[in-house]
Structure 1
Protein backbone atom coordinates (compact mmCIF):
# COMPACT_ATOMS: atom_id res chain seq x y z
CA UNK A 1 0.00 0.00 0.00
CA UNK A 2 1.55 3.25 -1.12
CA UNK A 3 -0.25 6.52 -0.38
CA UNK A 4 0.89 9.80 -1.86
CA UNK A 5 0.52 13.03 0.08
CA UNK A 6 -2.86 13.91 -1.44
CA UNK A 7 -4.23 10.48 -0.50
CA UNK A 8 -2.94 10.80 3.06
CA UNK A 9 -4.67 14.16 3.42
CA UNK A 10 -7.88 12.77 1.95
CA UNK A 11 -7.74 9.87 4.39
CA UNK A 12 -7.32 12.11 7.43
CA UNK A 13 -10.17 14.38 6.31
CA UNK A 14 -12.46 11.42 5.72
CA UNK A 15 -11.75 9.91 9.14
CA UNK A 16 -12.22 13.20 10.98
CA UNK A 17 -15.26 14.44 9.09
CA UNK A 18 -17.05 11.11 9.42
CA UNK A 19 -16.73 11.15 13.21
CA UNK A 20 -17.68 14.83 13.43
CA UNK A 21 -20.76 14.31 11.25
CA UNK A 22 -21.91 11.38 13.41
CA UNK A 23 -21.21 12.99 16.78
CA UNK A 24 -24.89 13.34 17.70
CA UNK A 25 -25.57 9.70 16.85
CA UNK A 26 -22.63 8.58 18.99
CA UNK A 27 -23.84 10.76 21.84
CA UNK A 28 -27.32 9.25 21.65
CA UNK A 29 -25.87 5.75 21.79
CA UNK A 30 -23.73 6.64 24.79
CA UNK A 31 -26.60 8.29 26.63
CA UNK A 32 -28.33 4.90 26.66
CA UNK A 33 -25.53 2.93 28.32
CA UNK A 34 -22.68 5.29 29.21
CA UNK A 35 -21.83 8.82 30.30
CA UNK A 36 -23.39 10.39 27.22
CA UNK A 37 -20.20 12.14 26.18
CA UNK A 38 -18.73 9.72 23.64
CA UNK A 39 -19.84 11.70 20.60
CA UNK A 40 -18.61 15.01 22.00
CA UNK A 41 -15.28 13.49 23.05
CA UNK A 42 -14.66 11.84 19.69
CA UNK A 43 -15.66 15.01 17.87
CA UNK A 44 -13.22 17.04 19.96
CA UNK A 45 -10.42 14.59 19.24
CA UNK A 46 -10.93 14.51 15.50
CA UNK A 47 -11.39 18.26 15.30
CA UNK A 48 -7.92 18.46 16.85
CA UNK A 49 -6.63 15.97 14.27
CA UNK A 50 -8.20 17.99 11.46
CA UNK A 51 -6.55 21.14 12.79
CA UNK A 52 -3.12 19.59 12.18
CA UNK A 53 -3.70 19.45 8.43
CA UNK A 54 -2.15 20.03 5.99
CA UNK A 55 1.07 19.43 7.92
CA UNK A 56 -0.03 16.02 9.14
CA UNK A 57 -0.22 14.73 5.57
CA UNK A 58 3.39 15.75 5.00
CA UNK A 59 4.46 12.92 7.28
CA UNK A 60 5.01 9.33 6.17
CA UNK A 61 2.06 6.99 6.69
CA UNK A 62 3.52 5.44 9.89
CA UNK A 63 4.38 8.84 11.38
CA UNK A 64 0.99 10.23 10.40
CA UNK A 65 -0.82 7.39 12.15
CA UNK A 66 1.29 7.81 15.28
CA UNK A 67 0.54 11.53 15.34
CA UNK A 68 -3.20 10.89 15.01
CA UNK A 69 -3.02 8.42 17.88
CA UNK A 70 -1.15 10.81 20.14
CA UNK A 71 -3.66 13.57 19.44
CA UNK A 72 -6.59 11.30 20.27
CA UNK A 73 -4.99 10.12 23.52
CA UNK A 74 -4.47 13.74 24.58
CA UNK A 75 -7.78 15.21 23.40
CA UNK A 76 -10.44 12.50 23.74
CA UNK A 77 -11.82 11.91 27.19
CA UNK A 78 -13.15 8.72 28.71
CA UNK A 79 -11.95 5.26 27.68
CA UNK A 80 -12.23 5.89 23.95
CA UNK A 81 -9.30 8.26 23.57
CA UNK A 82 -6.70 5.94 25.06
CA UNK A 83 -8.08 2.90 23.22
CA UNK A 84 -8.60 4.39 19.76
CA UNK A 85 -5.42 6.42 20.15
CA UNK A 86 -3.47 3.33 21.13
CA UNK A 87 -4.68 1.54 18.02
CA UNK A 88 -3.49 4.33 15.73
CA UNK A 89 -0.16 4.71 17.53
CA UNK A 90 0.66 1.02 17.58
CA UNK A 91 -0.42 0.58 13.97
CA UNK A 92 1.92 3.39 12.98
CA UNK A 93 4.79 1.94 15.00
CA UNK A 94 4.44 -1.47 13.37
CA UNK A 95 3.96 -0.41 9.74
CA UNK A 96 6.75 0.11 7.21
CA UNK A 97 6.29 3.10 4.91
CA UNK A 98 4.85 1.04 2.05
CA UNK A 99 3.30 -2.06 3.64
CA UNK A 100 2.19 -5.18 1.85
CA UNK A 101 -1.13 -6.71 2.83
CA UNK A 102 0.69 -9.23 5.03
CA UNK A 103 2.58 -6.44 6.76
CA UNK A 104 -0.63 -4.47 7.26
CA UNK A 105 -2.34 -7.52 8.75
CA UNK A 106 0.60 -8.16 11.08
CA UNK A 107 0.69 -4.52 12.19
CA UNK A 108 -3.07 -4.51 12.83
CA UNK A 109 -2.66 -7.65 14.94
CA UNK A 110 -0.11 -5.88 17.12
CA UNK A 111 -2.32 -2.80 17.40
CA UNK A 112 -5.36 -4.87 18.40
CA UNK A 113 -3.34 -6.72 21.03
CA UNK A 114 -2.22 -3.37 22.43
CA UNK A 115 -5.86 -2.27 22.68
CA UNK A 116 -6.72 -5.53 24.47
CA UNK A 117 -3.92 -4.95 26.95
CA UNK A 118 -4.78 -1.31 27.57
CA UNK A 119 -8.48 -2.00 28.03
CA UNK A 120 -7.96 -5.37 29.73
CA UNK A 121 -10.65 -6.75 27.48
CA UNK A 122 -11.33 -9.26 24.75
CA UNK A 123 -13.78 -9.56 21.87
CA UNK A 124 -17.24 -10.60 23.08
CA UNK A 125 -17.42 -8.07 25.91
CA UNK A 126 -19.30 -5.33 24.02
CA UNK A 127 -16.36 -3.05 23.22
CA UNK A 128 -14.67 -1.70 20.11
CA UNK A 129 -12.79 -5.02 19.92
CA UNK A 130 -16.03 -6.55 18.70
CA UNK A 131 -15.48 -4.60 15.50
CA UNK A 132 -11.68 -4.61 15.28
CA UNK A 133 -11.27 -8.37 15.67
CA UNK A 134 -13.78 -9.55 13.03
CA UNK A 135 -12.69 -6.85 10.59
CA UNK A 136 -9.10 -7.99 11.02
CA UNK A 137 -10.20 -11.52 10.12
CA UNK A 138 -11.79 -10.27 6.89
CA UNK A 139 -8.68 -8.27 6.03
CA UNK A 140 -6.43 -11.25 6.71
CA UNK A 141 -8.62 -13.46 4.53
CA UNK A 142 -8.14 -11.11 1.57
CA UNK A 143 -11.39 -9.14 1.79
CA UNK A 144 -11.72 -6.06 -0.38
CA UNK A 145 -12.84 -2.58 0.71
CA UNK A 146 -16.53 -3.40 0.38
CA UNK A 147 -16.24 -6.58 2.46
CA UNK A 148 -14.23 -4.79 5.13
CA UNK A 149 -16.69 -1.90 5.40
CA UNK A 150 -19.69 -4.25 5.48
CA UNK A 151 -18.16 -6.37 8.21
CA UNK A 152 -17.39 -3.28 10.28
CA UNK A 153 -21.01 -2.08 10.09
CA UNK A 154 -22.44 -5.54 10.78
CA UNK A 155 -20.05 -6.14 13.67
CA UNK A 156 -21.18 -2.91 15.34
CA UNK A 157 -24.80 -4.03 14.90
CA UNK A 158 -23.93 -7.36 16.53
CA UNK A 159 -23.03 -5.58 19.76
CA UNK A 160 -26.66 -4.56 20.28
CA UNK A 161 -27.85 -7.86 21.84
CA UNK A 162 -24.61 -8.35 23.79
CA UNK A 163 -24.25 -8.07 27.55
CA UNK A 164 -21.62 -5.47 28.44
CA UNK A 165 -18.81 -7.00 30.48
CA UNK A 166 -16.25 -4.19 30.30
CA UNK A 167 -16.53 -0.43 30.53
CA UNK A 168 -19.14 1.79 32.12
CA UNK A 169 -21.97 -0.07 30.40
CA UNK A 170 -21.07 -3.18 32.42
CA UNK A 171 -22.51 -1.50 35.53
CA UNK A 172 -25.94 -1.69 33.91
CA UNK A 173 -25.87 -5.48 33.76
CA UNK A 174 -28.70 -6.85 31.63
CA UNK A 175 -29.96 -3.33 30.92
CA UNK A 176 -26.99 -2.96 28.56
CA UNK A 177 -28.62 -5.53 26.27
CA UNK A 178 -30.48 -4.00 23.35
CA UNK A 179 -28.16 -1.03 22.84
CA UNK A 180 -25.31 -0.77 20.33
CA UNK A 181 -21.90 -0.16 21.85
CA UNK A 182 -20.90 3.46 21.06
CA UNK A 183 -17.19 2.64 20.76
CA UNK A 184 -17.94 -0.13 18.30
CA UNK A 185 -20.05 2.23 16.24
CA UNK A 186 -17.37 4.91 16.11
CA UNK A 187 -14.72 2.39 15.08
CA UNK A 188 -17.02 1.00 12.39
CA UNK A 189 -17.46 4.53 11.03
CA UNK A 190 -13.69 5.05 10.93
CA UNK A 191 -13.13 1.75 9.14
CA UNK A 192 -15.89 2.49 6.64
CA UNK A 193 -14.41 5.91 5.90
CA UNK A 194 -10.92 4.48 5.45
CA UNK A 195 -12.15 1.69 3.20
CA UNK A 196 -14.02 4.14 0.98
CA UNK A 197 -11.00 6.40 0.53
CA UNK A 198 -8.42 3.69 0.10
CA UNK A 199 -10.51 1.26 -1.88
CA UNK A 200 -8.30 -0.43 0.55
CA UNK A 201 -5.28 0.20 -1.56
CA UNK A 202 -4.90 -3.03 0.07
CA UNK A 203 -5.00 -4.60 -3.20
CA UNK A 204 -1.73 -4.71 -1.47
Structure 2
Protein backbone atom coordinates (compact mmCIF):
# COMPACT_ATOMS: atom_id res chain seq x y z
CA UNK A 1 0.00 0.00 0.00
CA UNK A 2 1.35 3.45 -0.91
CA UNK A 3 2.59 5.60 1.97
CA UNK A 4 0.32 8.54 2.77
CA UNK A 5 2.32 10.85 4.98
CA UNK A 6 0.07 13.85 4.29
CA UNK A 7 -2.50 14.49 6.97
CA UNK A 8 -5.94 15.84 6.14
CA UNK A 9 -4.91 19.27 7.43
CA UNK A 10 -1.83 19.36 5.19
CA UNK A 11 -3.99 18.37 2.22
CA UNK A 12 -6.36 21.25 3.01
CA UNK A 13 -3.53 23.78 3.10
CA UNK A 14 -1.81 22.41 0.01
CA UNK A 15 -5.01 22.57 -2.04
CA UNK A 16 -6.03 25.90 -0.55
CA UNK A 17 -9.52 24.91 0.58
CA UNK A 18 -11.46 23.20 3.36
CA UNK A 19 -11.84 19.94 1.43
CA UNK A 20 -14.08 18.12 3.92
CA UNK A 21 -15.87 21.17 5.31
CA UNK A 22 -14.64 20.48 8.84
CA UNK A 23 -14.68 23.22 11.49
CA UNK A 24 -11.11 22.38 12.64
CA UNK A 25 -9.52 22.80 9.22
CA UNK A 26 -6.53 25.20 9.34
CA UNK A 27 -7.84 26.76 6.11
CA UNK A 28 -10.61 28.35 8.18
CA UNK A 29 -7.95 30.53 9.86
CA UNK A 30 -5.41 30.77 7.04
CA UNK A 31 -7.13 30.76 3.66
CA UNK A 32 -3.98 30.33 1.62
CA UNK A 33 -1.36 27.69 0.86
CA UNK A 34 1.65 26.89 3.06
CA UNK A 35 5.09 28.46 2.74
CA UNK A 36 6.32 31.98 2.05
CA UNK A 37 4.71 32.00 -1.40
CA UNK A 38 1.38 30.60 -0.28
CA UNK A 39 -0.42 33.94 -0.54
CA UNK A 40 0.89 34.90 -3.96
CA UNK A 41 -0.36 32.17 -6.27
CA UNK A 42 -0.47 32.91 -9.98
CA UNK A 43 -3.49 32.29 -12.17
CA UNK A 44 -3.33 28.58 -13.10
CA UNK A 45 -3.09 27.30 -16.66
CA UNK A 46 -5.70 24.95 -18.13
CA UNK A 47 -3.42 22.08 -17.15
CA UNK A 48 -3.16 23.50 -13.63
CA UNK A 49 -6.94 23.72 -13.31
CA UNK A 50 -7.34 20.11 -14.43
CA UNK A 51 -4.56 18.97 -12.10
CA UNK A 52 -6.19 20.74 -9.16
CA UNK A 53 -9.52 19.04 -9.93
CA UNK A 54 -7.77 15.68 -9.89
CA UNK A 55 -5.89 16.43 -6.65
CA UNK A 56 -9.12 17.52 -4.96
CA UNK A 57 -10.93 14.32 -5.89
CA UNK A 58 -7.98 12.09 -4.95
CA UNK A 59 -7.47 13.91 -1.67
CA UNK A 60 -11.12 13.85 -0.68
CA UNK A 61 -11.20 10.05 -0.76
CA UNK A 62 -8.17 9.70 1.48
CA UNK A 63 -5.36 10.68 -0.87
CA UNK A 64 -5.76 7.73 -3.25
CA UNK A 65 -2.55 6.74 -5.05
CA UNK A 66 -2.06 7.82 -8.66
CA UNK A 67 -1.81 4.27 -10.02
CA UNK A 68 -5.10 3.25 -8.44
CA UNK A 69 -6.80 6.49 -9.48
CA UNK A 70 -5.77 5.88 -13.10
CA UNK A 71 -7.36 2.44 -12.89
CA UNK A 72 -10.59 4.02 -11.68
CA UNK A 73 -10.53 6.38 -14.65
CA UNK A 74 -9.93 3.48 -17.04
CA UNK A 75 -12.85 1.59 -15.50
CA UNK A 76 -15.05 4.70 -15.76
CA UNK A 77 -14.22 4.94 -19.46
CA UNK A 78 -15.04 1.26 -19.98
CA UNK A 79 -18.51 1.50 -18.38
CA UNK A 80 -21.57 2.75 -20.21
CA UNK A 81 -22.61 6.35 -19.64
CA UNK A 82 -20.66 9.51 -18.91
CA UNK A 83 -17.09 8.93 -17.77
CA UNK A 84 -17.25 11.73 -15.19
CA UNK A 85 -20.42 10.35 -13.57
CA UNK A 86 -19.02 6.82 -13.69
CA UNK A 87 -15.87 7.98 -11.90
CA UNK A 88 -17.89 9.50 -9.07
CA UNK A 89 -19.97 6.31 -8.83
CA UNK A 90 -16.83 4.19 -8.50
CA UNK A 91 -15.31 6.43 -5.82
CA UNK A 92 -18.54 6.52 -3.82
CA UNK A 93 -18.73 2.71 -4.02
CA UNK A 94 -15.42 2.22 -2.21
CA UNK A 95 -16.02 0.54 1.13
CA UNK A 96 -14.13 3.20 3.08
CA UNK A 97 -16.19 5.92 1.38
CA UNK A 98 -19.42 4.06 2.16
CA UNK A 99 -18.43 3.70 5.83
CA UNK A 100 -17.64 7.43 5.93
CA UNK A 101 -20.94 8.38 4.27
CA UNK A 102 -22.85 6.16 6.70
CA UNK A 103 -21.35 8.24 9.56
CA UNK A 104 -19.77 5.29 11.33
CA UNK A 105 -16.61 7.43 11.58
CA UNK A 106 -15.82 11.14 11.33
CA UNK A 107 -13.22 11.06 8.54
CA UNK A 108 -12.47 8.99 5.47
CA UNK A 109 -9.03 8.28 6.96
CA UNK A 110 -10.66 6.73 10.03
CA UNK A 111 -12.93 4.74 7.69
CA UNK A 112 -9.91 3.31 5.89
CA UNK A 113 -8.32 2.32 9.20
CA UNK A 114 -11.56 0.75 10.44
CA UNK A 115 -11.77 -1.43 7.34
CA UNK A 116 -8.07 -2.29 7.38
CA UNK A 117 -8.35 -3.55 10.95
CA UNK A 118 -11.19 -5.92 10.10
CA UNK A 119 -14.07 -4.17 11.88
CA UNK A 120 -16.44 -4.22 8.89
CA UNK A 121 -18.56 -6.95 7.30
CA UNK A 122 -20.19 -6.87 3.86
CA UNK A 123 -23.08 -9.30 3.39
CA UNK A 124 -22.00 -11.14 6.54
CA UNK A 125 -18.35 -11.59 5.54
CA UNK A 126 -15.38 -9.63 6.84
CA UNK A 127 -13.81 -7.32 4.29
CA UNK A 128 -10.54 -5.57 5.16
CA UNK A 129 -9.83 -3.92 1.82
CA UNK A 130 -10.80 -0.21 1.83
CA UNK A 131 -10.97 -0.10 -1.99
CA UNK A 132 -13.48 -2.96 -2.13
CA UNK A 133 -16.37 -1.81 -4.33
CA UNK A 134 -19.77 -2.11 -2.68
CA UNK A 135 -22.66 -3.00 -4.98
CA UNK A 136 -26.24 -1.83 -4.88
CA UNK A 137 -28.13 -3.83 -2.25
CA UNK A 138 -25.03 -4.91 -0.33
CA UNK A 139 -25.43 -4.89 3.45
CA UNK A 140 -22.57 -3.21 5.30
CA UNK A 141 -22.27 -3.59 9.07
CA UNK A 142 -19.89 -2.99 11.92
CA UNK A 143 -18.82 -6.26 13.56
CA UNK A 144 -20.65 -6.91 16.83
CA UNK A 145 -17.38 -7.06 18.76
CA UNK A 146 -16.37 -3.62 17.43
CA UNK A 147 -19.54 -1.64 18.10
CA UNK A 148 -18.30 -0.02 21.31
CA UNK A 149 -15.22 1.51 19.72
CA UNK A 150 -14.99 5.20 20.60
CA UNK A 151 -14.22 6.23 17.01
CA UNK A 152 -17.50 4.66 15.89
CA UNK A 153 -19.60 6.09 18.71
CA UNK A 154 -18.16 9.56 18.07
CA UNK A 155 -18.84 9.25 14.35
CA UNK A 156 -22.48 8.32 14.86
CA UNK A 157 -23.04 11.14 17.36
CA UNK A 158 -21.38 13.78 15.16
CA UNK A 159 -23.67 16.48 13.81
CA UNK A 160 -21.21 17.70 11.16
CA UNK A 161 -22.76 15.65 8.35
CA UNK A 162 -25.99 13.91 7.32
CA UNK A 163 -26.32 10.50 5.71
CA UNK A 164 -27.11 10.97 1.98
CA UNK A 165 -30.34 9.62 0.49
CA UNK A 166 -28.65 6.89 -1.56
CA UNK A 167 -27.79 5.05 1.66
CA UNK A 168 -30.14 3.38 4.13
CA UNK A 169 -28.56 3.32 7.59
CA UNK A 170 -29.69 2.07 10.99
CA UNK A 171 -27.24 3.42 13.55
CA UNK A 172 -28.90 1.53 16.38
CA UNK A 173 -27.99 -1.75 14.64
CA UNK A 174 -24.84 -0.31 13.02
CA UNK A 175 -25.87 -1.58 9.62
CA UNK A 176 -26.48 0.08 6.29
CA UNK A 177 -27.25 -0.64 2.65
CA UNK A 178 -26.17 1.05 -0.56
CA UNK A 179 -29.52 1.73 -2.23
CA UNK A 180 -28.12 3.13 -5.48
CA UNK A 181 -24.91 4.35 -7.07
CA UNK A 182 -25.13 8.15 -6.74
CA UNK A 183 -24.90 10.81 -9.41
CA UNK A 184 -22.60 13.78 -8.93
CA UNK A 185 -25.41 16.09 -7.80
CA UNK A 186 -26.44 13.59 -5.10
CA UNK A 187 -23.04 13.47 -3.42
CA UNK A 188 -22.74 15.95 -0.51
CA UNK A 189 -19.34 17.42 -1.30
CA UNK A 190 -18.49 20.50 0.83
CA UNK A 191 -16.54 21.94 -2.11
CA UNK A 192 -17.22 21.90 -5.84
CA UNK A 193 -15.90 18.77 -7.52
CA UNK A 194 -15.25 18.78 -11.26
CA UNK A 195 -14.83 15.20 -12.48
CA UNK A 196 -15.21 16.43 -16.06
CA UNK A 197 -11.86 18.23 -15.66
CA UNK A 198 -10.33 15.04 -14.27
CA UNK A 199 -11.48 13.20 -17.39
CA UNK A 200 -9.93 15.96 -19.52
CA UNK A 201 -6.67 15.63 -17.56
CA UNK A 202 -6.36 11.92 -18.36
CA UNK A 203 -7.43 12.48 -21.96
CA UNK A 204 -4.60 14.88 -22.74
The structure where helix makes up a greater share of residues is: 1
Q: Same fold (TM over 0.5)?
A: no
TM-score by length of 1: 0.31
